[in-house]
Chains A and B, each alone.
Chain A
């Protein structure tokens, strides 16, 4: 049976809220399944999602969340792979291009920005799962976040170029080894998370750089090819995600 859009959104929000509260995946699936079943019965009797939440999704989600224990061990288990993936995203591109170097600023600023942006994303995901924002507002928040993150990364990059001396520049051979390790991390990450885009995204991000290392083009041409490869990649990933979502939730979006 197909659920109404409001009920589908409620289930999605429930998952998001519990996930960002660090609850166990298996338990999340169980309560989501159970409530979906209830909503199907309720809707076939002409009731709405309000009959479940009592009109306040926030209070209801908090009540559910309070009865589930927080899966700290699960969170700790996620951390190593997550940190490895973050590092790989930061250094694989430079290692392929051959301009990898380590400075004090990068060592401090990059992890700080990464942690802050993850914190900001989790904060807004939680907020959005209980507040009924319009799609437009949700999208603007994401774009604003993304712009702020990109700008701060660029600021660090410029400050690094002008004011900081790298304390370590690996040899070209070492950089290739680092790039290969990065690729291994992406493959391991994709297998571990069982999601294909964790592999496709780096492929588009760093693939063009890799191929360009073996071709002789002017720097401008290289930059254009590299950038368009990146945007093309993002476009394709977003499009496929959209189609997948549409297939799973035919009446949504």
Chain B
């Protein structure tokens, strides 16, 4: 299993985490993800996820003209999105804990 396939299942939560840190737009999310060490197979893969998050009411978006660059769609978390992010953190905590225990025991 490649790391991008593994990432697929948790990309929703990671994007919630990135947006949680402050209002941001698609391209900037990619750059921020890269700073954390995420390497995406395709940068475009965040957009279907963002559409889904918006449909589920977890994020709110607004189009803004930028003074230099192109028109950008900025995302913020809704209260439901903050709630979902908290739950994601808990789920990840317990999952990563279990995986770590398993993997380290083998060594």
Residues of A near any B CB (own CB < 8 A):
1, 30-31, 33-38, 40-42, 44, 47, 50-55, 60, 63-64, 66-68
Contacts and interface: CB of A to CB of B under 8 A. Distances in A.
A68 B51 CA distance: 8
B73 A37 contact: yes
Interface residues of B, number: 19
A97 to B, nearest CB: 51
Given A33-B71, A53-B42, A67-B55, A42 B27 contact: yes
B45 interface: yes
Contacts, number: 66
22 contacts: A33-B63, A34-B26, A34-B72, A36-B71, A37-B71, A37-B73, A38-B43, A38-B44, A38-B47, A40-B69, A42-B43, A50-B42, A52-B42, A52-B43, A52-B44, A54-B44, A54-B45, A60-B42, A60-B44, A66-B48, A67-B51, A68-B51
B47 A34 contact: yes
A51 B43 contact: yes
Nearest to B44: A52
B52 interface: yes
Contacts of B26: 34, 37-38
Contacts of A66: 48
B88 interface: no
Nearest to A40: B70
Contacts of B42: 50-55, 60
Contacts of A44: 69
Nearest to B28: A41
A38 B41 CA distance: 16
B67 to A, nearest CB: 13
Contacts of A42: 27, 43
Contacts of A51: 42-44
Interface in B61-107: 63, 69-73
Contacts of A1: 69-70
A105 to B, nearest CB: 48
A53 to B, nearest CB: 6
Nearest to B41: A54
A33 B73 contact: yes
B70 to A, nearest CB: 4
Contacts of A68: 51
A219 B27 CA distance: 65
Contacts of A41: 27, 69-70
A35 B52 CA distance: 16
A37 B44 contact: no
A35 B44 CA distance: 8
A52 B48 CA distance: 11
Contacts of B43: 38, 42, 47, 51-52
Contacts of B47: 31, 34-35, 38, 64
Contacts of B48: 63-64, 66-67
Residue of B41, B42, B63, B69 most packed against chain A (CB within 10 A): B42
Contacts of B71: 33, 36-37
Interface string B15-40: 00000000001110000000000000
Contacts of A34: 26, 47, 72-73
A61 to B, nearest CB: 10
Residue of B44, B48, B73 most packed against chain A (CB within 10 A): B44
